Chains A and B, each alone.
Chain A
Amino acid sequence: MSITVKIPTQLRAVTSGEAETDVDEAATVGEVLDGLYDRYDGLRERIAEDGGLRRFVNVYVQGEDIRFLDGLDTSVEDGDEVTILPAVAGG
């Protein structure tokens, strides 16, 4: 199985410029992010805090904000797209 993760500009400095990457073997959003933390140094500090996400980080599965789902426990399936975005836009 494979989950596609979309990386915003603000994080590409720690993903060697990659805008998109794949994570295998993850059942939840939290596990997808853990996979990324293992792969990219410095990513965790930027978006995570106290075991959760920082307050200005939004994560979506198939375009749906995970706060409307089960947060980091939201399950992911093969082919899903996970998007990480800054939350301070709009208005």
Chain B
Amino acid sequence: MEDEQCRVEALKCKECDTRYPLEARFVCDHCFGPLEVEYDFSDLDPAETRRKIQAGPQSIWRYSDFLPFERQPQTALAAGMTPLIRADRLAERLGLREVWIKNDAANPTHSFKDRVVTVALAKARELGYEVVACASTGNLANAVAAHAAAAGLESYVFIPSDLEEQKVLATGVYGTHLVAVNGSYDDVNRLCTELSSERDWAFVNVNVRPYYSEGSKTLGYEIAEQLGWQLPDRVVVPIASGSLFTKIARGFEEWLEVGLIEGELPIMNGAQAEGCSPVARAFADDKPVCRPVRPDTIAKSLAIGDPADGPYALELARRSGGAVDAVSDDEIREAITLLAETTGVFTETAGGVTTAVLKRLAERGDIGPEERVVVVITGDGLKTLDAVRDSFETYEIEPRVSDFEAVVEGSQVAA
């Protein structure tokens, strides 16, 4: 449609407002600040936009008006429209009134990364790239390999060599060039940033990052739409680079601006693991920027020691009245079990981090008695099976009723 052609305006530096054309570019030449897609939503009518969304596909492309394309792209693998589940049993356990789980494990490669990758690859193709690549802590690796395979693009996926086996296997199967780097994620990221200067490839989270990160806004849109076009009072989100955290809020703010929803920005709570908590530490110390750390945590998908969007995540947590908390590996393991036992949702370690932070906030009395809280679960528990190994006992018996009665029921009576 004609009116859509001018909605996506430019890339704009978040630091100094310099504008650039909509090409594969992620850094401001003048100040090295990050670039973000700038839109003009002034011609969007709220009622008409809402009808259009409701009549749209069951994927993130129902929100095309808010994504960086002139026309809705055709993509081979869909993403988004994952369940938002009311978690009354979890709320009761924590003494809260209303808790919802946004289960983004229910995506094609079982994490929220399908959202950002589907956007990045659509843009990469539009810009004429034939090879896509990424630096990944695992979930992104799965998504890039799968979406590239579906789109018929060649791909290079760079991961730290100590990644969970499940994530390695669930990447290699798609036929990517899988490169395991001896180093931390931050080393992998540095290597990819260097390579992006020398290779004519679309690195989804480097040179096309401004488009890629737009995909995360759709998590915010879905939460609002699935709550009946309302905002929650509070959202708990895991922080690795800080991109997801800030873009969910950006999604809410755009819809407030357009008038699709009313109210104010929810309180935004960031969640990190103690073993990699540069943002939580800077928040506690009242600092505007993060000091990098060397990660050591079971939450490998969040193990970014030098978070690119750290300053913006800090600013958002403070501005929205939220916080950034860090939890221990033991709290993460316990929270994975707590979520599974009360909601039927089995999450990877990152979801353990968010659930543990929800518990922390509840215990600290930060959450008001009337609050509606949404917890973002970003990935599937099958990706990090080691986190729950030996966390329960299995009865082992011979195939005899008497054995069952003695071993299983007998132990329950004894207990």
Contacts and interface: CB of A to CB of B under 8 A. Distances in A.
Interface of A: 6, 8-10, 13, 19, 45-47, 54-58, 60, 63, 65, 67-68, 83, 85-91
B243 interface: yes
Given A91-B241, A91-B304, A13 B190 contact: no
Nearest to B13: A56
A88 B35 CA distance: 9
A47 B33 CA distance: 10
A65 B241 contact: no
Contacts of A89: 26, 135, 189, 192-193, 196, 203, 205-206, 209, 308
- In the A-B complex, the 9 residue pairs with the smallest Cβ-Cβ separation, listed nearest first, are A91-B241, A90-B189, A88-B34, A86-B27, A9-B197, A56-B32, A89-B206, A89-B193, A91-B243
Contacts of B289: 55
A46 B308 contact: no
A88 B26 contact: yes
Contacts of A45: 30
Given A8-B197, A86-B27, A65 B32 contact: no
Contacts of A9: 196-197
A13 B289 CA distance: 28
Interface in B217-248: 240-244
Tell me the dominant secondary structure on chain A's binding face.
mixed
Interface string B294-313: 10000000001011110100
Contacts of B30: 45-46
10 contacts: A8-B193, A10-B27, A54-B32, A55-B289, A56-B34, A57-B32, A58-B306, A67-B292, A88-B32, A90-B192
Contact of A86 (B32, B240, B311): B32
A83 B189 CA distance: 13
Contact of B206 (A56, A67, A83, A90): A90
* Band of interface residues on B: 35 or more
Interface centre among B289, B291, B308 (most CB of A within 10 A): B308
Given A8-B193, A19-B198, A88-B27, 16 more contacts: A13-B29, A54-B31, A56-B15, A56-B31, A68-B292, A68-B294, A85-B190, A88-B26, A88-B32, A88-B34, A89-B26, A89-B189, A89-B192, A89-B203, A90-B186, A91-B240
A10 to B, nearest CB: 5
A86 B185 CA distance: 16
Contact of B29 (A10, A56, A85): A10
Nearest to A90: B189
B184 to A, nearest CB: 10
A60 B306 CA distance: 13
Interface of B: 15, 26-27, 29-34, 135, 185-187, 189-190, 192-194, 196-198, 203, 205-206, 209, 240-244, 289, 291-292, 294, 304, 306-309, 311
